[in-house]
A and B are shown apart, each in its own frame.
Chain A
Amino acid sequence: MMKRIVYREWRIPPARYWGILGILAVVAGIGGLAALYMEHEGHWVTGMNNSVVWGTPHVFAVFLIVAASGALNIASIGTVFGKAAYKPLGRLSGLLAAALLVGGLLVLVLDLGRPDRLIVAMTTYNFRSIFAWNIFLYTGFMVIVVAYLWSMADRMGAPFYKGIGIFAFAWRLALTTGTGSIFGFIVARQAFDTAFLAPMFVIMSFAYGLAIYLLVLLFTFEQEGRVLGDRLLRRLKNLLGVFVAAILYFTVVYFLTKLYGAKNYELVGWVLLNGGAYTAVFWIGWVLIGGLAPLGILYHPELGKDRNWIAAACALVILGGLATMYVVIIASQAFPLQMFPGQIVLEATPAAGILGEAATYSPSLPEFLLGLGGVAVALLITAVGVRVLQFLPESLADQAVPADEQAQAPALAGA
């Protein structure tokens, strides 16, 4: 018989709750001040320049946007793929997806040279631009997620649950494909210029979204003493392992496709061997912290059962994800444009970005604070959401979670 899933507001003691909210609000506020400072002074106060035009804010923004679509994946597994055990996880999945997207978009928008012209971006479109498509993909995503949540939580919406769920899944794939294509469609730069980036971003979104989801789930349940069953947690952490391994596979294939053309030998050699800080961030951040280390923890016979270690693995996936974005976005811009093959540039005035060496970029504090502010906003929305509405299931104990065969209708109790 199907278990009744009861959802309840997150009722941790007010002092602790307001403490968490206060810290997040302060971090978000500092991020806002950093944005104001950069907007007022101009971008000269950042490390960005005419060669590396997208910096640390974009690392955070793209990471959050990619993670947002990945966070919705948990709900999709329940709805589209009919895994009943994932159904109780759907509401938090939708909330996190919306929250992360808002955080990411805020960072992106606040880093514009003219954030005051946001209305222009919303009213004047060039439909050849993948950026313009993305504006619709992002706003559409928000609307669909809200509808999805409604279909999960309201009896009136229940008949549409499956349909909206399938549509949301298709939309989130389109969204991440669009985000990856922002880079993939750039023919001018050797590190981009490949459609491979779109599926690679999709696979990254699976891992980053799930890692954030798991951390939030572990934290909220632990704080309030709700039960999270070992069986469900094992499934989730194993799934994270599969996604992390898939990222490593995509990483290998990405560099192999680049190596196939002789013109890209230098690029691959630079990123993997002699790119200085970028090479370090690639191997230590992308591969070790974001890949091998969490894999080792998640599949370790002992550590893989320990909740603290699972949480650590999730944190590593997130840190590794930020490192990955740093390499994908910034190293790709720093690598010199190949304008004169077979020739070396002896002199250039100004030299920046034209001489055959990598462009310079050093992340600045305001950029970092803006990025962190976006993360805080996402968590702030989540914290308020779970407190005032019924997003979290009262129990995810193994006996409370339905078996996969029981995936028929959304669990409405407690709505």
Chain B
Amino acid sequence: MNHHEDKIDGERRAFFGVAAGVSAGLVAPGVVLHAVSAAPRSEPVTDAVRWGLLIDTTKCADGCRACVDACDQENGLDLQSKPEGQSEAEWDRQKSVWIRKVKLQDNQTGRVTNLPLMCQHCEHPPCVDVCPTGASFKRADGIVMVDRHTCIGCRYCMMACPYKARSFIHETIHGQLTRVPRGKGCVESCNLCVHRRDFGTASTACVDACAAEGHNALTFGDLNDPESPISQALKAMPSRQIREDLALNTGVRYSGI
């Protein structure tokens, strides 16, 4: 055996030490900076909050589409284009819609009600139950949404949704926003502006637009916090869930219907 090889090479050790130190010095600030800049998004979502919407239908104006338009702009739905050769009527049935504006009339009393209808963010969402891959999921903070990486486009969630809240992307996407990636062959729906939640923004695009119009029919907030404006409003006025009979405990509540 060669005696020389058994001897510890001091220079070599010193070199490795310096190299490791220099590398750490170079990489560490990047890691730290990255962690700092990503702070609001790197914390896991918890069930300490449950996001919800209250819609005061008495304030929802007939003919106003502010919430729908704002949603379209916020989520890049206004970038959808009708495929060449498709009829307007058919495209109307196939394009993505996250909020619908609905006008109702009571059969008995003739009373007319306006309301926006979107994903109701159920506590027990049928769309989540039926999804074979778990792509349709509920976040700990109550937001129901689709993981676009695992959605296989089977549309079973659309069959199961009692609110017709979901849309299937029927065409190749030509324009989309970085914050709301969309892709052909997947299902999507209102996610309470989830990108805003992750950046700690206070409300949703539809709520802001409704307030800007001066209607203030929509209130967004934490249903778990008894002091939040939405909880206070829910305490003060009677409200209902659409299809209460299904006992889904929706995160979107309506007053005046």
Binding site for B on A (CB under 8 A): 39, 41-44, 48-51, 53-54, 112-115, 117-118, 120-121, 124-126, 128-132, 135, 182, 185-189, 333, 337, 339-340, 342-354, 359-360
A113 touches B186 (CB 8 A): yes
Which among B8-16, B153-161, B199-207 touches the partner chain?
B153-161
Produce 1/0 per residue, B170-195, CB < 8 A to A.
Answer: 11100000000000111100000000
A126 touches B131 (CB 8 A): yes
User: Given contacts A120-B152, A121-B132, A342-B107, are A354 and B94 in contact (CB under 8 A)?
Assistant: no
Q: Which of B96, B113, B158 has the most CB of A within 10 A?
A: B158
Q: Which residue of A lies closest to B149 (CB)?
A: A120
A44 to B172, CA, bound (A): 9
Q: List 24 A-B contacts (CB under 8 A).
A: A41-B172, A44-B86, A49-B93, A51-B164, A53-B168, A113-B186, A121-B133, A126-B132, A129-B130, A131-B130, A132-B133, A185-B130, A187-B126, A187-B162, A188-B243, A342-B106, A342-B107, A343-B105, A345-B102, A346-B103, A346-B104, A347-B101, A349-B65, A360-B89
A42 touches B106 (CB 8 A): no
Main secondary structure of the interface of A (DSSP, over half): loop
Smallest beta-carbon distance A220→chain B, Å: 36
B94 touches A339 (CB 8 A): no
A352 to B93, CA, bound (A): 5
B152 touches A188 (CB 8 A): no
Which residues from chain A contact B105 at a C-beta distance below 8 Å?
Answer: 343-344, 346
A125 touches B132 (CB 8 A): yes
Q: Which of B93, B104, B246 has the most CB of A within 10 A?
A: B93
Sort A-B residue pairs by CB-CB distance and give the 9 closest, nearest first: A113-B153, A113-B185, A188-B162, A49-B93, A131-B132, A126-B134, A44-B170, A53-B155, A347-B103
Q: How many pairs of residues, A versus B, come closer than 8 Å at their CB atoms?
A: 185
Task: Please name 10 further chain A to chain B contacts, defined as beta carbons within 8 Å, in addition to the given A113-B155, A131-B154, A348-B117, sorted by A numbering.
Answer: A42-B172, A49-B94, A53-B168, A113-B168, A117-B151, A128-B128, A182-B156, A333-B159, A337-B164, A339-B163
A349 to B92, CA, bound (A): 9
A359 to B242, CA, bound (A): 20
Which residues from chain B contact A182 at a C-beta distance below 8 Å?
Answer: 156
Produce 1/0 per residue, B104-139, CB < 8 A to A.
Answer: 111110001100010000000010111111100000
B102 touches A120 (CB 8 A): no
Which residues from chain A contact B97 at a C-beta distance below 8 Å?
Answer: 50, 350
User: Given contacts A343-B104, A343-B113, A354-B117, are A112 and B93 in contact (CB under 8 A)?
Assistant: no
